């Protein structure tokens, strides 16, 4: 900023009063305000922002790890469940054969009624376990698709169709 000022004096101590003295002076000034210390508020906000950024990065990494763990767990469930379903399907077939054999034995008199009832109980237990393993395997498949973000309505429709199929 520039300030102009004109000063007129009629004299001074060194000059007589009867000689008018005219002087002209100009001043230029600049005002700059820089806070030397703002009470730590700026540094505190900076540290807070950096800490929030680090927290967000750690939260993202934790979510990524959790998604990977869920996908691995679901994949393992699908693989193990498939093997269990096959084994239980064999158990159901074996139980049916056992029941048929016990019924024939009861008719010809080599088996008693309790043998037939036990064979039926074993068949129904095997069928129950097969249905349970099948449903859990299908659920693990849905969990795997959900963990991979590929779950769609068509997947649910396909599972409905699978659940309506006849037992082995």
Contact 116, 106 (CB under 8 A): yes
Tell me the pLDDT tens digit for each residue of 15-60.
555 555 556 677 787 887 776 766 677 788 889 999 999 999 999 9
pLDDT at 6 exceeding the cut of 70: no
Q: What is the Cα–Cα distance from 168 to 90, expressed in whole angstroms?
A: 8
Please tell me the predicted confidence (pLDDT) of residue 147: 85
Secondary element (H or E) of residue 22: strand 21-28
Please tell me the predicted confidence (pLDDT) of residue 17: 55
Q: Tell me the mean pLDDT in the region 89-96.
A: 95
Q: Tell me the mean pLDDT in the region 101-119.
A: 92
Task: State the burial class of residue 82 (Cβ atoms within 10 Å of its Cβ: 0-12, 13-18, 19+).
Answer: middle
Dihedral sign for Cα 80, 81, 83, 88, please: positive
The model carries a pTM of: 0.60
| Residue 150 DSSP class | -
Contact 99, 120 (CB under 8 A): yes
Mean of per-residue pLDDT scores for the chain: 83
For residue 127, how far is the Cα from the chain centroid? 37
| Residue 36 DSSP class | S
| In the block, residue with structure tokens 């084994």 | 87
């Amino acid at each position: 900023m520039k300030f102009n000022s004109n000063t007129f004096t009629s004299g001074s101590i060194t000059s007589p009063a009867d000689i008018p003295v005219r002087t002209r002076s100009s001043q230029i000034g600049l005002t700059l305000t820089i806070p030397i210390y703002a009470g730590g508020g700026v540094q505190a906000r900076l540290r807070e922002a950096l800490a929030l950024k680090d927290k967000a990065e750690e939260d993202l990494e934790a979510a990524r790890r959790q998604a990977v763990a869920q996908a691995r767990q679901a994949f393992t469930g699908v693989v193990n469940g498939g093997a269990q379903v096959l084994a239980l399907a064999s158990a159901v077939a074996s139980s049916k054969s056992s029941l048929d054999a016990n019924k024939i034995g009861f008719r010809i008199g080599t088996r008693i009624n309790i043998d037939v009832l036990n064979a039926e109980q074993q068949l129904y237990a095997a069928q129950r376990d097969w249905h349970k393993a099948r449903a859990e395997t299908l659920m693990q498949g849905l969990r795997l698709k959900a963990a991979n973000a590929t779950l769609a309505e068509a997947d649910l429709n396909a599972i409905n169709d699978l659940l309506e199929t006849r037992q082995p």
